[in-house]
Structure 1
Amino acid sequence: MATRADSKRGATVTRLPTARNSDTGEIPRKASFGRRIRKKFRLFSVRAGMDLPFFFLVLTLMVIGLIMLFSSSYAYAYYNYGNSYYFIIRQAGFAVAGIFIMVAISYFDYHHLHKLAIPILLVTYMLLVLVLFMPERNGVRRWIYLGPVNFQPSEIAKFALVLIFAHLISINFKRMSTFRYGVLPYLLILGSIAVLVLLEKHVSATLILVALAGVMLFIGGVQLRWFAIAFGVLGAAVAYIVLFSAKFGYASDRISGWLDPFGTTVDTWQTRQSLMSIGSGGLLGLGLGQSRQKYLYLPEPQNDFIFAVVCEELGFIGALLIVILFAMLVWRGITVSLKAKDKFGMLLGIGLTVQVGLQVILNIAVVTNTIPNTGISLPFFSYGGSSLMILLAEMGVVLSISRTSTIEKT
């Protein structure tokens, strides 16, 4: 300990010894502060560990989804491709790659997505415009083809919308009650994306985007009167379409088929076969692999209507257990997100989790003819490699958020 005399006051000042580097003798300046900064902005880190219940729920649904995909698709695959394993081999490969991606992203610090929100939105706009120039498939343009791989830009649009909304709301959280910061920018972003997706004739994706935007704005603190106005406009639009559906051609057929699925005025073959599959399953089902409707009666059973095969083979009990697993996944994801350490993580996690829940609800509603038939895939179950990988990547973001969440992770 060293001392020195103060020349002006004659007092003795005691200086505490300063830690020095034993090798160089240099005094480390703000070392601990520097370590905190580097740790905060580290691109990849373990942090407090990911949420294991959420992780295992994803894996459980993934495994069940692969089993049901194979069961529902092998007859169709053999008839059309001469290989019963055509779909399952490809989906399993994408699933394995997607799980690796999910785990890798879970180590990625989600705060860096703040800087990527606007670039990802701009890339999404480019893809949504590009897809309009792609070749038609079944009368619609939804896929961009890159050799043997194709993907739907609308899947990326869902993530981009959630990300940009989380980014802007977290920045303007205290001003969300105003029209300029709480309504206008989100209305412009949602409107522009929705118009481009509608041009693809992808109504189901548009519905999901609108619902996602509404959930995030509600959590963000937008005043309720704007929701009342939005519901009024939406209700008037739906009523107009129903009352004057003859003017809308494509939409008219869907509505007519929904109101009378066993009628003869429009082609409702897929809906009919779906309802017969569900009905024949009964309480306990016909048994795994024993579906009859998948033998070329139900069109493309590995895609949007795979839940009908689930009901037929596993029955009401099996289908209910799967719905419960989805509900547990959504509940856990929202719980993890609510305990995130910042508003950005909370909004981002809730948005990505709610997206899964919305798709499940809408898919089951279509399969059971609760709403008009429109193409909505069932997460983790429906065939589609690129969609599955995007979904697993989004689950990886939720797991990344869980690494700093204060929730118990075991």
Structure 2
Amino acid sequence: MKKLLRPLPGMDLPFLILVLTLVGFGLVMLASASSAVALYRRGDAWAYLRPQLLYAALGLCGMWLASRVDYHIFHKLAWPLLGLSLILLAAVLFMPEYNGCRRWLVIPGFGTLQPSEIAKFAVVLVFSHIIALNHDRMKDFSVGVLPFALVLGVVAALMLLEPHLSGTVLILGIGAVLMFVGGTGLRWFLLAGAGGVGAIGAAVAVMPDLVPYAADRLRSWLDPFADPLGDGHQTIQSLYAIGSGGATGLGLGESRQKHLFVPEPQNDFIFSIVCEELGFVGACAVVGLFVLLLCRGITIAAHAPDRFGALLVVGFVVQVALQAVLNVAVVTNTIPNTGISLPFFSSGGTSLMMLLGEMGVVLGVSRGEM
């Protein structure tokens, strides 16, 4: 305890301000976007906001603690956390389905836990650990490709069984960025592309249930209006919300689409409510905050005391940025609907607490040598 309370070098204040701004902005928008659906489903307009406030408070405490811990401890925790995440990813497959997926573990007295959030954290730790220890040999297949491919292959297979396509794409993207930054030879990425095509073919053969799931998502993306009351309903209502916002929006709290038109306004499609209530200006503000977070994170990584710290920062800020990009792309129907949340905005305790813990690690690296 004395070690946590001892004087430490100052953390990066611009990054801290950006994180706190995103958390505050996200809570305000969640309060507005979730009120109608919470009142309808649970008879309480604050049913989604109230637990999110608790998770935010716990997450901020976790962020403060993580910022004061010597991040080198994650060298020792990387593999155990990956093992734990794999166990949880396997356990979730035996949980009841929700909207055709098995992504949450139900913990009596606590709520739900999404193992994929822990898996993202673990993948960043393990990849940073391996690269930091073997950075001089990253051009070799046995060091710069094989261990990463094995980890990503196991994690991706378990997540596809849920199925969780967006989470799989996100983890593969994070892994690819860390491998590239770590020095993996470019030729291996070309071969990985060819291998990815083969992996998709294998997934189709081994997991035939994935085919109709993916095919339905693809059809509703290409023409959501072909099934306006079925698969295309969510996308159509999202586009209506975005279009009706105009330049400056209808005003905070004035969304019409959140009144049971957009099916998940408190979660995956909260960005459409942001666009409707705050307009193009508000949407640009949200995107701008994520861009600034990424840029500041890269600056922190460039000045990190060592390679391991730099890789941790890159992994965590790229995760946030890539997840935000995928969410905005889904909401605007730029890519098929894959069910991915908007960091700091969407309802979800596991996601928010893990995100804030990761941001705490970034702030810890920004302190320099401890």
Shorter-chain TM-score: which interval?
over 0.9
Counterpart position of 1:403: 367
Structure 2 counterparts to residues 147-158 of structure 1, below 5 A: 147=108, 148-158=110-120
Counterpart position of 1:117: 78
For the pair 1:335 / 2:296, whether they are aligned, the reply is no
Counterpart position of 2:348: 384
Deviations 1:56-86 (A, max 9, x none): 1000011110000010011111111111111
Alignment TM-score, normalising by the size of structure 1: 0.85
Deviations 1:177-220 (A, max 9, x none): 10111111111111011111111100100000100010000001
Counterpart position of 2:104: 143
Counterpart position of 1:360: 324
Counterpart position of 1:224: 186
Q: Distance in 2 between matches of 1:60 and 1:187?
A: 36
Deviations 1:148-175 (A, max 9, x none): 4211100000000000000000000000
Deviations 1:364-398 (A, max 9, x none): 00000000001100001000112111110111111
Q: Distance in 2 between matches of 1:104 and 1:98?
A: 10
Deviations 1:135-155 (A, max 9, x none): 222221111111142111000
Tell whether the 8 Å contact from 1:261 to 1:272 is kept in structure 2 after alignment: yes
Amino acid at match of 1:326: F
For the pair 1:87 / 2:51, whether they are aligned, the reply is no
Tell whether the 8 Å contact from 1:288 to 1:314 is kept in structure 2 after alignment: yes
Tell whether the 8 Å contact from 2:117 to 2:350 is kept in structure 1 after alignment: no
Counterpart position of 1:34: none
Alignment TM-score, normalising by the size of structure 2: 0.94
Deviations 1:224-245 (A, max 9, x none): 0111122234467779999xx9
Tell whether the 8 Å contact from 1:43 to 1:112 is kept in structure 2 after alignment: no
The aligned length equals 364
Secondary structure (helix, strand or coil) at the match of 2:226 reads coil
Counterpart position of 1:261: 224
Amino acid at match of 2:217: R
RMSD over aligned CA atoms reads: 2.2
Which 10-residue stretch deviates more, 157-166 or 135-144? 135-144
Tell whether the 8 Å contact from 2:163 to 2:210 is kept in structure 1 after alignment: no
Deviations 1:218-274 (A, max 9, x none): 0010110111122234467779999xx999211111100100011138621000000
Structure 2 counterparts to residues 156-171 of structure 1, below 5 A: 156-171=118-133
Q: Distance in 2 between matches of 1:120 and 1:52?
A: 29
Q: Distance in 1 between matches of 2:244 and 2:70?
A: 48
Q: Distance in 2 between matches of 1:129 and 1:200?
A: 9
Tell whether the 8 Å contact from 2:37 to 2:259 is kept in structure 1 after alignment: yes
Tell whether the 8 Å contact from 2:15 to 2:293 is kept in structure 1 after alignment: yes
Closer, same or farther: CA 201–317 of 1 in aligned 2, 3 Å? same
Deviations 1:278-309 (A, max 9, x none): 01111111111111000011102000000000
Closer, same or farther: CA 169–344 of 1 in aligned 2, 3 Å? same
Amino acid at match of 2:287: V
Tell whether the 8 Å contact from 1:173 to 1:221 is kept in structure 2 after alignment: yes
Q: Distance in 1 between matches of 2:182 and 2:223?
A: 40
Counterpart position of 2:286: 322
Q: Distance in 2 between matches of 1:124 and 1:70?
A: 31
Amino acid at match of 2:126: I
Tell whether the 8 Å contact from 1:120 to 1:160 is kept in structure 2 after alignment: yes
Q: Distance in 2 between matches of 1:134 and 1:347?
A: 34
Closer, same or farther: CA 247–313 of 1 in aligned 2, 3 Å? closer
Amino acid at match of 2:366: S
Amino acid at match of 2:249: G
What are structure 1's unaligned runs of at least 5 residues?
Answer: 1-38
Tell whether the 8 Å contact from 1:246 to 1:252 is kept in structure 2 after alignment: no
Q: Distance in 2 between matches of 1:223 and 1:320?
A: 36
**Cα offset, 1:125, TM superposition:** 1.4
Q: Distance in 2 between matches of 1:309 and 1:370?
A: 17
Secondary structure (helix, strand or coil) at the match of 1:145 reads strand
Counterpart position of 1:58: 19
State the identity %. Answer: 54
Structure 2 counterparts to residues 5-404 of structure 1, below 5 A: 46-147=7-108, 148-234=110-196, 248-264=211-227, 267-404=231-368
Secondary structure (helix, strand or coil) at the match of 2:346 reads coil
